[in-house]
Amino acid sequence: MVQRRDASLIPLSHDHHHGLVRVFEIRQAIRGGEGLADQLRATVEFFRSDLEPHFEAEEEAVVPALQAATTDARAELERLSDEHRQLRDMAANLDASAARLGAFAELLESHIRFEERQLFPIYQEHVSAAARAAVEAAVRRILERPNDTPRACKVP
């Protein structure tokens, strides 16, 4: 059953869509065997402009609210932190090789699916409405998106 996303998580879910578009584009270039240098540039820019603020919003707003609301999410929060670290390390060492771009895409997709299917439902179940309102304000401030209008994907 699909769960309606809480307003506090909508900007993060919009980001996840953009991340999956990036994954798709990397995989298309790998399959075609060309354009890997362009994908490297696009992925490094995406990491800088989208993923870093996204990680910051999760780490500074979502994680503390979830930690305060329940102890049932320890494993999920540990995974979140570990995968953020791995993605940061991978982004710092990306090159135009199919192996490194492909590994980054694999982890990014897995991470997005984990958040949407496991972490966000736990958050929505345990975090109070008042705390979610504070999280939403913090997420929107960090991401510099004061409303629900999703950004357009940067597709060539």
Tell me: the pLDDT tens digits for 3-15? 688 999 999 999 9
Tell me: the pLDDT tens digits for 34-80? 999 999 999 999 999 999 999 999 999 999 999 999 999 999 999 99
Q: What is the pTM of this model?
A: 0.92
The whole-number pLDDT of residue 146 equals 84
- CATH (residue range 7-143): 1.20.120
Which CA distances in Å does 48 have to 6, 91, 136, 142, 152?
A: 26, 9, 22, 14, 17
The whole-number pLDDT of residue 69 equals 96
Work out the burial of residue 7: count CB atoms within 10 Å of its CB; fewer than 13 is exposed, 13-18 middle, 19 or more buried: middle
The residue ranges of every structural domain in the chain are: 7-143
CB atoms within 10 A of CB 93: 9
Residues contacting 75, CB < 8 A, separation 6+:
none
Residues contacting 130, CB < 8 A, separation 6+:
none
Measured distance CA(112)–CA(84) in Å, rounded: 11
When pLDDT is averaged across residues 127-139 and rounded to a whole number, the result is 96
Tell me: the pLDDT tens digits for 98-123? 999 999 999 999 999 999 999 999 99
